[in-house]
Amino acid sequence: MSAETSIPAVGFRGISKRFPGTVALNDVSFDVMPGACHGIMGENGAGKSTLGKILAGIHRPDEGSLLVEGVKRHFHSPLDAQRAGVAIVHQELSFCPNLSVAENICLSHLPSHGGRLDWPKLHERARFYLEQAGAECDVQEELGRLSTGQTQLVQIAAALATGAKILVMDEPTSSLSAMEAQGLVGLIARLRRNGATILYVSHRMDEIFRLCDVVTVMRDGQHVVTMPLAQTNEAELVRLMIGRSWQKMFPEHIDRAAGPERLRLEKFSSPGKFHDINFSIRSGEVLGVAGLVGSGRSEIALGIFGLDPKVSGRVVVDGAEAHPRSPRDAMKLGIGLVSEDRKGQGLVLGMECGENITLSSLDRLSRGGVIRGSSERGVIANFFEKLHVKAASSQVPAQTLSGGNQQKLVLAKWLARESRVLILDEPTRGVDIGAKGEIHRLIDELAAAGHAILMISSELPEVLNLSTRVIVMRGGRLVAELARAEATAEVVLKWMAGCGGETLSGSGQSAGCAPS
Amino acid sequence: MAIEPEPVVPLKHVVGFKRPRFKESGLMGVLLALGLFLSIFGGSLQVTNRDTSEVVKVNKFMRADNLDKLAKNTSFFAIMAVGATFVIITGGIDLSVGAVYCLAAVCGAMFLNRFGPHGAGAGAPAILVVPGAILVCLGAGALCGFINGLGVVCLRVHSFVITLGTMAIYRGIAFVMTKAQAYTDFPPQFTDGFVRREINWHGASLYPVPLAIMIGVTVFAWWYLKHSVTGRQIFAVGGNEQASLFSGLPVNWVKVKVYTFSGLAAGIAAMIMLGYYGSASSDAGKGYELDVIAAAVVGGASLAGGRGTALGALLGALIIQVINNGIIILNIDQNYSQIIIGAVIVLAVLLDRINNTLRERRMTRAARP
């Protein structure tokens, strides 16, 4: 028995994976021992999800090899991986929402008699695995009608139904309620007792410490370290993930006097999303918005930008009441939104970088509906230089650029339009460390140049470091407005989690007390 | 540490606007190969020269009147394909082009018939009749397209469904208007004097006007897509509609415009048809929508949106017509023509996709550290 356990369940050997414009994984090698719950940590864009997808047969590595139970494997599809005993639970991998829960769970091997579906057996099997996963829902319900949390549990059940010995869980708790997440702990313990090996991909510190016994830290597509959790602590893991200790940055704009008020919200509400929001931003200020996902922080941005038809309350731009009913209206008021979904909402990826920059300001760069080529080239060259956009040329498609440079294009688009109010939603999501610093400097420079900036971020250091003031959202309400000096990590986390006067233990972002 | 392969490039290279690779070179190659093949294997023909009564041997494909016929046959489809390409670039589809073509032709025919030699308005000056007819055809086409666009935007129904509906509606209107009879008897100023104006060239009668209009429309559309604000917005909406909305583009207005352009193109094609054949009925242009979409797709337009060119649409239409022509020249059984054309469409799209995969691979390789 002991000889068997010495063969790793999974071995990564020099795995590299490239996507257009980025290197997602670079020569990654480590082992996962059988029966372990192996945590994989890293910041957004560290390559941890890509690694999980390679193991599950969704992506194929460009270089390197994959050993599963000591045997070299080349997975060409998730089905190949399932046959080798590997399954993945992934939030973005949705099933068929038009089919029933039972059908989704047994999709890869539907029980049948000579081509006719065996419904009783299908339902029985589905119920069995749902119970294992700790989900309570009707197996005949259409999957699309379940909540995201329930859907995720169904996905776990489906992964179990493939008979997988090795289970990749990619951010499995991201859409689970506190109670469901608690159930997951029990589930993982049970799975391990039955001999399963679990790769647990997450960036949540508390979960990793609660569930895993070994952790691998990834950074910028590279393997940093694999070690038993007993030998480390949270501070060290954070340092390894970020690659440097978090130093306090003192942005330049803080020293400048703020200018006139640019944007004010009064009793800004949208049913079911956010309620009675009041704040104002002045020229030269960065107003940081802290809050958990679902606290209404991004919804406010969409509301200001004219994308929520149900908003009520007053929006005052430059002293005059405004009613942005579409992004076009908001744009004309001088508001620009750098959305959190850069690829879906920020850029036309197939178009040239330069064309993306001038997309919103074409009417200013044209005469009689005809684009003035020289003016356009001038603007593009100007912003390429100003924002240090790194691209082979301004004519390559935006999709070939790295995350950080893509983000600069989105920013440039609004700067080219001379937007004075910039709403930045997760400005450094999916951006590598180097570019992150650059974008932080850029935000500071823009504020110093007199832009009014509303910055929404789930990265607390970012909010605390860059903001002139910080507002905290919880459950759709603005619960605190803090001056820079008051806004320490401890205080902000307390407001975010809604624990009132209690102090929080540890530094986990999703602390034990669930927002109600 | 730095995983991004970001070579620091001197600024003059960064903004060096190198000319992009000629996108239609593949189509040009196919067309030349087809032409060469038909010239060599098409055989020759004994023809009597009208002026000298001399019997000469000419190439079946490479002869003036065959090429002229080819150009004329292509012109209807090419013009409509250019219009359809606008719609396809935005990620939509226009199934009603054949019906719009028919309705515009019928409107024009009724107008021309009224001012024809035996009509109520006979003897009206050409200076009014010809522009009037053009206006009626183009206006009817553009109006139909505009209605399509409004339907797509206001009802928020997929363009496939909207134009499937309007396809039947427009043809139905044409049918009701004409009471299923053909309209002929047009003023000669419009037919022989304008669209069917004949020139003699080495004993062959040629009709250059359809060809000229086709080239004019293509050149204008090429320029428009490349240099106008709307052209850029068309590509943006097709490339990523949500990002276009988030960038403050008038997405709905852009969509209405492309369907209007498509209808306008059908109106232009209808005008040429009226002038060339001198008659129209409610059967005109039946099934054209599929030929038109085929031409656009062969020409490199992507039904997923974001990609397509005016010249590509022209070349796509031309390739299909050359193959049609070749089938006749090579004496292949007419019944095979649909099989061949169908295979060519699939093949063209396949080649296009291989080309794209290769390009993507090149880009991935460029990301190597």
Examine the domain organization and report whether A91 and A238 are in the same domain: yes
* Mean per-residue pLDDT of chain A: 84
CA angle A156, A158, A163 (to 5 degrees): 100
Contact state of B232 with A359 under an 8 Å Cβ cutoff: yes
Q: Give the separation between CA B338 and CA B349, rounded to whole angstroms.
A: 17
Q: Say whether residue B364 is in contact with chain A using an 8 A CB cutoff.
A: yes
Question: Which residues in chain A (291-330) have CB-CB distances under 8 A to chain B?
Answer: 305, 307, 326-328, 330
Task: With beta carbons under 8 A apart, name residues in chain A contacting B368.
Answer: 18, 23
Cβ within 8 Å of B, A 201-220: 220
Do A317 and A454 share a structural domain?
yes
CATH number for the region B51-353 comes to 1.10.3470
Q: Any CB–CB contact under 8 A between B245 and chain A?
A: yes
A355 touches chain B (CB under 8 A): yes
Residue B247: which of A332, A359, A370 has the nearest Cβ?
Answer: A359
pLDDT for res B243 = 95
d(CA B251, CA B242): 9
Rounded to two decimals, the pTM is 0.80
**Which among A184, A216, A242 is the end of a domain?**
A242
Q: With helix as H, strand as E and coil as C, how does B333-353 read?
A: CHHHHHHHHHHHHHHHHHHHH
Q: What is the torsion angle, in degrees rounded to the nearest 10, for the CA atoms of residue A268, residue A270, residue A272 and residue A277?
A: -10
Q: What pLDDT band is residue B16 in, cutting at 50, 70 and 90?
A: very low
Region A348-367: mean pLDDT is: 94
- A328 and A346 both lie in a single domain: no
Q: Do A395 and B228 count as a contact with CB atoms less than 8 A apart? A: no
Assess A270–B contact: CB distance below 8 Å, yes or no: no
CB of A436 within 8 Å of a chain B CB? The answer is no
Who wins on pLDDT, B263 or B4? B263
- As a whole number, mean pLDDT of residues B145-173 equals 96
Q: Which residues pair with A171 in a beta bridge?
A: none
Residue reference for tokens 């990265």: A459
Strand residues in A122-191 grouped as ranges (E): 166-170
Q: Name the range with the highest mean pLDDT among A118-127, B16-25, B105-114, B354-363.
A: B105-114
Task: Kindly report which listed range (A38-42, B145-149, B291-295, B360-364) carries the lowest average pLDDT score.
Answer: B360-364
Q: What ipTM was estimated for this complex?
A: 0.84
Q: What is the mean pLDDT of residues A308-315?
A: 93
**3-state SS, residue A510:** coil
Per the structure, the complete domain to which residue A455 belongs is given by 246-334+419-516
What is the per-residue DSSP string for B97-124? Answer: HHHHHHHHHHHHHHHHHHTSTTSTTTT-
Examine the domain organization and report whether A194 and A181 are in the same domain: yes
Q: Which of A372, A400, A417 is the last residue of a domain?
A: A417
pLDDT per residue as tens digits for the range A407-447: 999 999 999 999 999 999 989 877 776 788 889 999 999 99
> Based on the domain organization, do A410 and A472 belong to the same domain?
no
B chain contacts of residue A23, beta-carbon cutoff 8 Å: 3-5, 367-369
Mean pLDDT for chain B?
A: 88
Residues A361 and A234 in one domain: no
Chain B residues with CB inside 8 Å of A390's CB? 4, 6-9
Chain A residues with CB-CB distance to B240 below 8 A: 344, 347-350
Residue of chain B minimizing CA distance to A377: B15
- Cβ contact A400–B366 (<8 Å): yes
| Most confident listed range (A68-72, A333-337, A493-497, B117-121) | A333-337
Q: Are A330 and A419 in contact (CB under 8 A)?
A: no
The torsion of the CA quartet A145, A148, A153, A155, rounded to 10 degrees, works out to: 80
* Domain boundaries defined on chain B: 51-353
Q: Which residues contact A276 (CB under 8 A, 6 or more apart)?
A: A267, A268, A269, A313, A477, A478
Q: A98 with A215, same domain?
A: yes
What 8-state DSSP symbol labels residue A513? S
CB-based contact A369 B229, cutoff 8 Å: yes
Q: Is A229 in the same domain as A180?
A: yes
For residue A354, give Cα distances in angstroms to A19, A50, A284, A384, B86.
Answer: 21, 29, 28, 9, 22
Decide which of A433 and A270 is more confident.
Answer: A270
Token pair of A187 as six digits: 């589930």
Q: What is the CATH number of the domain that holds A158?
A: 3.40.50.300
- Give the tens place of pLDDT for each residue, B59-87: 888 888 899 999 999 999 999 999 999 99
A131 and A63 both lie in a single domain:
yes
For the segment B247-261, what is each residue's pLDDT rounded down to a tens digit? Answer: 999 999 999 999 999
Burial class (CB in 10 A: 0-12, 13-18, 19+), A321: exposed
In this structure, the dihedral spanned by the alpha carbons of residues A55, A58, A61 and A64, taken in order and rounded to 10 degrees, is 20
Nearest CA distance, A103 vs chain B (angstrom): 29
Distance CA A72, CA B98 (A): 58
Statement: residue B18 has pLDDT above 50: no
Tell which of A373, A399, A417 closes a domain.
A417
Question: Hey, what's the torsion of the CAs at B72, B73, B76, B79, to 10 degrees?
Answer: -70
Are residue A304 and residue A427 in the same domain, yes or no?
Answer: yes
Does B25 contact A at CB distance below 8 Å? Answer: no
Q: Shortest CA distance to B322 belongs to which of B311, B314, B46?
A: B314
**What is the DSSP annotation of A173-206?**
TTT--HHHHHHHHHHHHHHHHTT-EEEEE---HH
Residues 25-84 on A with a CB inside 8 Å of B are 26
Interface check B21 vs A, CB under 8 A: no
Q: How many whole angstroms separate alpha carbon B247 and alpha carbon B232?
A: 13
Nearest CB neighbour to A349, from listed B14, B240, B367:
B240
**pLDDT, greater one: B198 or A498:** B198
Answer yes or no: do A393 and B244 touch at CB < 8 A.
no
Nearest to B367 among A22, A355, A434 (CB): A22
C-beta atoms of B14 and A362 within 8 A:
no
Q: What is the mean pLDDT of residues B177-184?
A: 91
Query: B64-93 as b/e, with b when 16 or more CB fall inside 10 Å?
Result: eebbbebbbbbbbbbbbbbbbbbbbbbbbb
Whether A366 has its CB under 8 Å from any CB of chain B: the answer is: yes
Write the pLDDT tens digit of every residue in A321-355.
999 999 999 999 999 999 988 889 999 999 999 99
Q: Is B18 near chain A, with CB under 8 Å?
A: yes
pLDDT, position B119:
85
Does pLDDT of A245 surpass 70?
no
Domain count, chain A: 3
